[in-house]
Structure 1
Amino acid sequence: MQMFKQRLHEKIYCFSHPVPTAFVGSFNPSADSPEEFPDIVSEIGDHRVAHNLLVEIRDPRLVHCLLEHARSLHRNGPWLPLGLGPRAVRDCDIGDTQLHFWPRFGAHPVERLLKRYGAGSRVRIAASHISNRASVACLRRLARRGANIEIAAEHTERRVPRAVELQLAREGIAFTRLGADANVPMHLKFVLLENSEGRHAVFGSFNWTAQAYWLNHELAVITRDDDVFEALDRHWTTLRQPSPERGQP
């Protein structure tokens, strides 16, 4: 079935000049003029106006890992699963920042991180897709451990079903949908976590869906970099501000 087809969903943009750098996040190049693939844009929306994110990475070790990963995909094509065979690219860990690639076996890196948070923690999630039962169960358990959770999600119920919203709201999770006022795609994918021990920021291409968990080629960056956290914190504040068209967020 098409819904179970493996997809290359990572967004990695590598440049050699003026210095080696890479951009990763959620932005899809789309909506050319004239548009070559109108059916695709109809499905994903015009990302020139969407809520979206790209983060510039300059650390040479991370850039090298991302570049080698991109070259491997171009050279060999997608594969299943990560970690098997000579072509597989491993996760990259430089201490304060880790790159995690999918498809993979084992525990979900973001969910594994969430398990470290509980009572007294603040967790903010911007998500375009939330539909996986395991994801919903993970967030419900996090709320029951006493974490203060806020979610800003895509406005369409196709990407975030109403049933998911109700399940999370019953756990006391603050839930907001974005983009409906002007039919703007909400394609952000990041998480901000805070507790007495410190802060983490998570961003990349990953969705909270079974497709992303088990089939897609995805990327998540987990970092303790203060500059990244504070930039995403400022953007979260912007997202939560009322707009003249919308009234209240």
Structure 2
Amino acid sequence: MRVRYQMRRMLKNMPGGSSWRRSTKRPSRLWIAVPAIAGIASVTTLALIAQPEQEVGGGTAEPTIGQVYFGGPDKPAGVLRDLLLAKVRATPPGQSIDWATYYFLDSELAQALIDASRRGVKVRLVVEGDPRLAGANSGVLAMLRQAGLSNGLTIRRELPAPLDALSGKLHAKIYAFSWPRPVALVGSFNPSGGVDDDSAAIVREIGDQDRGHNVLVEITGRGLVEALVTHVADLARDGGAISRFGMTQNRVVRDRDTQLFFYPRLHTDIVEEELDGLGAGDRLWAAISHLKGKAVAALEGAARRGAAIHLVVHDTERRVPQDAVDRLTAQGVEIRRYRHADGLPMHDKIFVIERRDHWISYFGSLNFNRNSRFLNDEVLVRSTNAPLALALLKRFADIDRELDRQQVIAEPAIRSLGGKVRAAR
């Protein structure tokens, strides 16, 4: 890539970058250390400024986004895990399954992966070994360890204290399948349902992901799918954690209307910078499970500049502090907490933005808090795909309607965007 070439030229032309190698005298440690430190700083600065783009479209006309799947109280219980289960069971010998996930308590789904491996499917699975609720994955991981998955299992290990506080978690949710055509499902869903008493207690603590609000979006652009599969392979190779300093980790993978961002990365403010550009006449709808810190400030700024912002957030203050709600309300943001009679979670992380008649969507595993921005392994997707924006906006309206709103505020936008999508077909 051009950025790599420029980086090599920049480092080569730095004092000591190459000339010291030609010297007949042994260089001092300081003379070696100075360009090395400067080189690291230059790479860091370059990644922060440039964010090299990797175009993977390859001239194809196939869409980048396929089906959008939702879970929630209005859907059959387990609809997203049943989707994954059916795809695993349908995968024939010689094909591949590549997954990375955070919570994994579903023993039936784990057994399906074991069975797939035994019948000749290449299964690569990377799982967090130390989720926030310690031991939550222990039962399924014991099953998977015993089976081995033909060396396809990687469990991200916990680091010893105090390093554990800075290590982050494997929080990405990637479910890629090579058959019947290459696709990758990306979003917020963890297969965290369980059937025994211990699993039931864990589900009560973390929320019932099989019945609560979640989303999985089908990525169909071949280059994007390959990038996601490669990312799972890199996670497996590196023990479930990837350094933020590599150029590959900091690249933006683009196929026409859709971009992938992998975390941890040096440049973290992807959504926040989008929000910084919003003002009068722009509109935003978002269903967000975790909201703290810089994202709150960016939303405040957008509201002050005149953007119309409508949010549904999780009901717990651990995920969304009341101070954040009060600050946003003071700026005119319409924000409501999602509360369900059965305690079901609203685990979505979706943004839909209308800006000067253009539609932008964000989704993925990224929570809008410190750990996700700076520590965790995450996936964030940005897309200007209009059918995707329409599907996410309709889902926001469904959640809005569930909260007993008299007038669903997204309905006029849905009618307008729906007409444009139909006209484009």
Determine if the TM-score, normalized by the shorter chain, exceeds 0.5: yes
Report the CA distance between 1:91 and its aligned residue. 2.9
Match of 2:323 among 156, 163, 166: 163
Residue identity opposite 1:235 in structure 2: R
- Structure number with greater Rg is 2
- Which position in structure 2 is the counterpart of 1:30? 192
Helix, strand or coil at the partner of 1:238: helix
Report the CA distance between 1:20 and its aligned residue. 0.7
Contact 1:82-1:101 at 8 Å conserved across structures = no
Match of 2:217 among 51, 55, 66: 55
The reply to whether residue 9 of structure 1 matches residue 174 of structure 2 is no
Contact 1:83-1:90 at 8 Å conserved across structures = no
Contact 1:81-1:105 at 8 Å conserved across structures = no
Summarize the alignment of residues 195-210 of structure 1 with structure 2, pairs less than 5 Å apart.
195-210=355-370
Cα distance between partner residues in 2 of 1:37 and 1:68: 32
CA shift digits 1:37-80 (9 cap, x unpaired): 56653432110011110001111011011010011111212445
CA 1:88/1:221 → structure 2, altered by over 3 Å: closer, same or farther? closer
**Greater relative contact order (Cα 8 A, min sep 6): structure 1 or 2?**
1
Report the CA distance between 1:109 and its aligned residue. 1.1
Summarize the alignment of residues 78-97 of structure 1 with structure 2, pairs less than 5 Å apart.
78-79=240-241, 81-84=243-246, 88=249, 90-97=251-258
- Which position in structure 1 is the counterpart of 2:351? 191
More displaced, 107-116 or 16-25? Answer: 107-116
Residue identity opposite 2:181 in structure 1: V
Report the CA distance between 1:242 and its aligned residue. 4.1
Report the CA distance between 1:197 and its aligned residue. 4.3
Aligned length: 245
Match of 2:272 among 93, 111, 121: 111
Helix, strand or coil at the partner of 1:99: strand
Match of 1:240 among 400, 403, 416: 400
Helix, strand or coil at the partner of 2:281: coil
Contact 2:261-2:380 at 8 Å conserved across structures = yes
Report the CA distance between 1:181 and its aligned residue. 2.5
Contact 2:250-2:265 at 8 Å conserved across structures = no
CA shift digits 1:139-193 (9 cap, x unpaired): 1111111100111000111211111110110010000111333211110001000
Residue identity opposite 1:151 in structure 2: L
Match of 1:122 among 283, 290, 300: 283
Residue identity opposite 2:277 in structure 1: R
CA 1:3/1:181 → structure 2, altered by over 3 Å: closer, same or farther? farther
Unaligned runs of 5+ in 2: 1-161, 409-425
Residue identity opposite 2:261 in structure 1: H
CA shift digits 1:104-139 (9 cap, x unpaired): 11251111222222111001111101122x221111
TM-score scaled to structure 2, two decimals?
0.54
Cα distance between partner residues in 2 of 1:181 and 1:38: 18
TM-score scaled to structure 1, two decimals?
0.90
Contact 1:69-1:89 at 8 Å conserved across structures = no
CA 1:41/1:5 → structure 2, altered by over 3 Å: closer, same or farther? farther
